Amino acid sequence: MHPAFSVIFLTTLIGAGQGLFLALFSIEASAGLGLLPAQDGAFYALGSAAALVLLGLGLFASFFHLGRPERAWRTATKWRTSWLSREVIVLPAFLGIVALYGLVHWTGVNPALGMLPGDQAMTLSGILGILGTVLALALFVSTAMIYAAVKFLQEWHSPLTVVNYTLLGAASGFTLATAYAGWSGVNLVHFLGITAIVLTLLGLVGRVASLLRNARLKPKSTLQTALGVKHPTIKQISMGLMGGSFNTREFFHHQSAGVLRAVKWVFLIGVFAIPVVLLGVAMLMTVDPTPLLIAAFVIQYLGLLAERWFFFAQSNHPQNLYYQAVS
Amino acid sequence: MTQLALVIDLNVCVGCHACVTSCKEWNTSGGAGPLVDLRPYDADPSGTFFNRVQTFEVGEYPNTETVHFPKSCLHCEEPPCVPVCPTGASYKRKEDGIVLVDYDKCIGCKYCSWACPYGVREVDAERRVMTKCTLCVDRIYDEALPEWDRKPACVRACPTNARLYGDIHDPNSVVSQAIRESGGYQLMPEWGTKPANHYLPRRKTKITIRDDELERADNPLKIDSQLPKPNRDEPALDDVTSW
């Protein structure tokens, strides 16, 4: 497939935003249970603002994918059958909840709405946080299912796609949260850093599993089934056009196998190897680790751009069987 | 229930592209606006077509055959492009089974083209919406045309009659008979999309002539004559009696 930068930015930016929100709420929930030191409202508010910026940028990038962005509101109508429609509903809902969550912490208007067993107060921010967590996970699933649901793209048509979108988004969000904690000087670098490393390593397992799966894939369609001609030797003489068309642009990456291989190693090193090392070193440092943590996030994000590019480029659409030779 | 479709006879198609140009001509003149042609006279032309004719070589030289292969929307009975559409712009008509795009609802997200294994949907670069074969829905019901002319433009254009048009759910239609009697098949059956359009395979046209068919019918091969067996050009008994 042709890797469109609008979609690459959309999926990586909202992934990091969702991960950042999950990190923020996991801090608040743990603090509420007394497992982590409590933070003041400004920490959550600023973190939510950062998540909102990422989500907003992702939403903005997505409009460049559309031919008719002014009709984008129509996409919310077919949520019964289309994962794209579901994503379009969940993303603004999640944006709204994150905004409310940040607002509650910013204004400090955070009344206890009830009591949980064990004398835990159920605060407004807690309810918003749980809602946000559910929506963040729903958004990971909807985004990934857009790809995983297309059975013709066998590289995508796997539960691993959902697992990887979730793990990689969460990992980049937790790496960002670690850098944010380091920058704001709160004592959370270890909790967040270790979680980020664990998520990154889990992401590595999932991504390598999908790479191995895709390397062994056997295409379901062949030139024989595409034409209905049973002869083992068929070659295309002409695709019926010489100047290129939507079919020759949208479904090919137009890069050599060498570039594809190089990008694969770039993202394996950029998303997984370097950030894990940087996060590990940062946690052992006695001086301020913030620059190192920021570098870890930036490198991981750039790596994720390469990962998403590769995700698109690697998938091979059966329609390409009909477009193999110009003339 | 009606399911209109084309049946394309690969044994007859000569690859002249008349259906391609006729399709383009009809649909670019339609109410939905022209199908774009970008840089038509420059080095890098590009444009929207609903129908393409491709050419394949089957076999290895010298035992090869050239297959001309017209390809347009197959109007699947289980169209995978329809449920993925987030706006409902892509839909299948209940009354005749034609798969269409509502150009006023389409947002041009291209998702339906990903969900079509046949690559028959093309985004129009100027209209910025998804376009595809309409089975000439603006022609086949047009009562201003004489009844024999109410057929898709590609069918009307084909000089070798390689394109048949009709209702594949009606067992007596010309298309159902062709599918039944000439081995009609569907493309990529492995995906379960149940394309309505069918293709008829290439067939060898052979006649078998046995030696005795080259002889006089009343005494083939002179099998009842005296030995040694007479030559073929020797008169046979009926040659004698017919003097």
Q: Mutation test of the interface with chain A: which of B114, B185, B203, choosing the one with the most A Cβ atoms within 10 A?
A: B114
Give the other-Cβ count within 10 Å of B5's Cβ. 28
Rounded CA-CA distance A251/A323 in Å is 10
Partners of residue B69 in chain A, C-beta under 8 Å: 227
Q: Tell how many helices (H) and how many strands (E) occur in chain A.
A: 11, 3
- pLDDT above 70 (res B220): no
CB–CB contacts below 8 A, A to B: 173
Helix (H) or strand (E) holding A237: strand A234-238
- pLDDT above 80 (res B60): yes
The answer to whether residue B225 neighbours chain A at the CB level (below 8 Å) is: no
Cα distances (Å, whole numbers) of residue A257 to A172, A303, A307: 28, 19, 16
In chain B, which among 140-179 make CB contacts under 8 A with chain A? none
What tens digit of pLDDT does each residue of B69-113 get?
999 999 999 999 999 999 999 999 999 999 999 999 999 999 999
Contact B119 A229 (CB under 8 A): no
Contact A225 B57 (CB under 8 A): no
String of b and e for B208-217 (b: at least 16 CB within 10 Å)? eeeeeeeeee
Residue ranges in chain A modelled with pLDDT below 50:
none
Rounded CA-CA distance B7/A204 in Å is 49
Residue of B nearest to A81 (CA): B83
Helix (H) or strand (E) holding B177: helix B174-181
Asked if B45 contacts B191 with a C-beta cutoff of 8 angstroms, the reply is: no
Nearest CB to B117 within list A81, A85, A152: A152
Radius of gyration of chain B measured on its C-alpha atoms:
26
In this structure, what are the phi and psi dihedrals at residue A116, rounded to the nearest 5 degrees? Answer: -95, 160
Q: Given this model, what pLDDT does residue B234 score?
A: 73
In chain B, which among 114-143 make CB contacts under 8 A with chain A? 114-119, 121-123, 125, 128-129
Rounded to the nearest angstrom, the minimum Cα separation between B123 and chain A is 6
B227 falls in which pLDDT band (50, 70, 90)?
Answer: confident
B53 falls in which pLDDT band (50, 70, 90)?
Answer: very high
Contact B55 A236 (CB under 8 A): yes
Crossing angle (nearest 10°) for helices A5-32 and A290-314: 130
Q: Is A309 exposed, middle or buried (0-12, 13-18, 19+ CB in 10 A)?
A: buried
Nearest CB to A66 within list B71, B108, B199: B108
Helix (H) or strand (E) holding A163: helix A159-184
Asked if A249 contacts B38 with a C-beta cutoff of 8 angstroms, the reply is: no
Residue B145: CB partners within 8 Å, gap ≥ 6? B139
Cα distances (Å, whole numbers) of residue B79 to B73, B112, B193, B240: 10, 10, 6, 73
Q: Given this model, what pLDDT does residue B233 score?
A: 73
Rounded CA-CA distance A15/A271 in Å is 13
Q: Mutation test of the interface with chain B: which of A68, A155, A250, choosing the one with the most B Cβ atoms within 10 A?
A: A68
- pLDDT above 80 (res B236): no
Contact A85 B119 (CB under 8 A): no
Contact B118 A319 (CB under 8 A): yes
The tokens for A21 are 């929100």
End-to-end CA distance of chain B: 69
Q: Give the CB-side neighbour count of residue A170, counting CA atoms within 13 A.
A: 29
Cα distances (Å, whole numbers) of residue B86 to B78, B83, B118: 17, 8, 20
Contact A1 B114 (CB under 8 A): yes
Residue A168: CB partners within 8 Å, gap ≥ 6? A15, A203, A206, A207, A271, A304, A307
Mean pLDDT within B162-168: 97
- pLDDT above 90 (res B232): no
Asked if B5 contacts B166 with a C-beta cutoff of 8 angstroms, the reply is: yes
Domains of chain B (ranges plus CATH)? Answer: 4-200 (3.30.70.20), 211-241 (no CATH)
Contact B52 A146 (CB under 8 A): no
- CATH number for A5-322 (one of 3.40.50.300, 1.20.120.430, 1.20.1630.10, 3.90.1150.10): it is 1.20.1630.10
- pTM here? 0.91
What's the gap between Cα B44 and its chain centre? Answer: 29
The tokens for B49 are 């077509």
Rounded CA-CA distance A312/A147 in Å is 10
- pLDDT above 90 (res B196): yes
Q: Which of A39-43, A155-159, B19-23, B225-229 has the least mean pLDDT?
A: B225-229
- pLDDT above 90 (res B223): no
Q: Given this model, what pLDDT does residue A285 score?
A: 86
Rounded CA-CA distance A61/A7 in Å is 7
**Which residue from B20, B2, B1 is spatially nearest to B163, judged by alpha carbons?**
B20
